[in-house]
Structure 1
C-alpha cells in the first residue's frame, strides 16, 4: 500500500541539489540527490528511511525530477540504481534520459 502524495521540496543549488520529502509522523526525510554536469542532471543517490520503504516514496521523488525535466528542458542521467530501474521500466521516458 502506497502513501499519500508527498510534499516534495526542491533544493536547487545550481550545480547540484536534492528533492526532499519529509515523512509523515516522523523527523525522517527521503531524498534524491543530483549533480549537474553540462546541462544533464545526474541522479546520483536516492535514500528512503527503512520504515518508509516499499511505499512509493522513491517513485514520487523520481516523478518530481521528471516533471522538472519536462518543464525546464534538462536530461536525466540515472546514475542511481533505483532511478535507472525506473527509466528501464518506463520506456516512454527515453527522451528524457541522457
Structure 2
C-alpha cells in the first residue's frame, strides 16, 4: 500500500490512500514553525483492522524525520499512539 503526499496549500498536508477514485484512508496535518499539528486520521471500514492508521502515522513520522520537523498530536488516534509507544519520541513536539 502506497500513500500519496498531498499539499493542498502551503501549510496543509496529508498522506492519502485512494482506490478507484475513492479516498479510503488519510492522515492530515497543518504545519507551522517546524511543527506538524496532526489533526485527523481516517480509515474506511473496508480497511479497518489492517494496521492502516499506523502505516499512515509511520509515513508522517518518517516525513517529519526527513524534513527535521516535530509532531504535535491532536487527533485521538495520534494522541493514543504517542502515549502507548516510544517509537515516536524523536518527533514529539
Q: Please, what TM-score do these two structures have when normalized by structure 2?
A: 0.87
**Matched length:** 92
For 1:69, the equivalent position in structure 2 comes to 64
Encode CA deviations 1:22-79: one digit per residue, 9 max, x unaligned: 25x7834201110012220101000111121111111111000011111110000010
Change (3 A) 1:55 1:22: same
SS across alignment from 1:67: helix
- Runs of 4 or more, structure 1, over 3 Å off, are 25-28
Alignment counterpart, residue 48 of structure 2, candidates 43, 46, 53: 53
Which structure has the highest strand share of the two?
Answer: 2
Equivalent-residue separation in structure 2 for 1:67 and 1:28 (angstroms): 22
Does the CA-based 8 Å contact 2:36-2:72 persist in structure 1? yes
RMSD, aligned CA: 1.7
Q: Which runs of 5+ in 2 are unaligned?
A: none
